[in-house]
Amino acid sequence: MVKSRTLDLVNFDKIPGGQNACIAVMSYSGYDIEDAIILNKAAIDRGFGRCMVLRKHQSSVRRYANGTQDITCGPPSESNFIDGAEDRRFQRYKAVGEDGICLVGEEMKQGSIMINKQSPTDTTTTFAGVGFAMSNGPTAPQVEYKPTPLSYGGSAPSYVDKVIVTSNEHENF
C-alpha cells in the first residue's frame, strides 16, 4: 500500500510495529458512519489495541586517570533508616539487587533507584596502589565516595524488562 521514506530509513517492516486492523464498513441507509469501527471481543481479550512503551536508561561506571573508579553497591541496610524497612528513603532501594543494579521484573516508581552507583570524590589526586586489582592490600588508601545513583524519573509506574551490562572501547561498564 503506502509507505513513507521514514519507515524505510528505520527498517520499520523488519521490527514489530503493533497491530493493524483491516475493516470494511458500508452504510446501509446512506447515513455518515466515518467514526464507526467494529471490534471482536476475542481480539480485545487477546490484547488488541494495547500499547507498550519501552525506554532505555543507562549509566556508565567510569575509571579515572588517578586509578579510582565508580562502584556499584547493594542497597543500604534498613537499620540505617529511622523507620527501618518502612522508611520512604529505604523504599527507594526496593528494586536494587546486591550488585547495585535493579532486578528484572521489579516495579519502578518515581524516585526509585535503578543503579546504586557511587563515584570517588577526588578524581585528580594520584594514589599509589589504587586500582581494581590492588585495592584490597593493607596499604591501599581509603577512597571517599559520594552517592551518584540513577533514579527513575517517570510519573507512571513501570517494570524492569531487561538488564544488560556491557563494556565499551575504554573498558568502562
C-alpha cell at 70: 565508580
pTM over 0.85, yes/no: no
Report the pLDDT value the prediction gives residue 16, as an integer from 0 to 100. Answer: 63
75 and 116 in contact (C-beta within 8 Å)? yes
What is the SS3 assignment for 131?
coil
19 and 49 in contact (C-beta within 8 Å)? yes
Q: How many angstroms separate the CA atoms of 124 and 136, rounded?
A: 21
Residue 120 has pLDDT above 90, yes or no: yes
Give the tens place of pLDDT for each residue, 133-158. Answer: 444 455 556 889 999 999 999 888 99
Residue 160 has pLDDT above 60, yes or no: yes
C-alpha cell at 135: 585495592
Give the tens place of pLDDT for each residue, 59-84. Answer: 999 888 888 899 999 999 888 888 88
Instruction: Give bridge partners of residue 71 from the DSSP assignment.
Output: 118
Q: Where are the domains of the chain?
A: 5-46
Residue 25 has pLDDT above 70, yes or no: no
96 and 75 in contact (C-beta within 8 Å)? yes
**Averaged over 148-170, what is the pLDDT?**
90
Closest CA to 65 of 120, 124, 118: 124
pLDDT > 70: percent of the chain: 76
Closest CA to 150 of 101, 87, 91, 82: 101
Q: How many angstroms separate the CA atoms of 123 and 66, rounded?
A: 6
Amino acid at 89: R
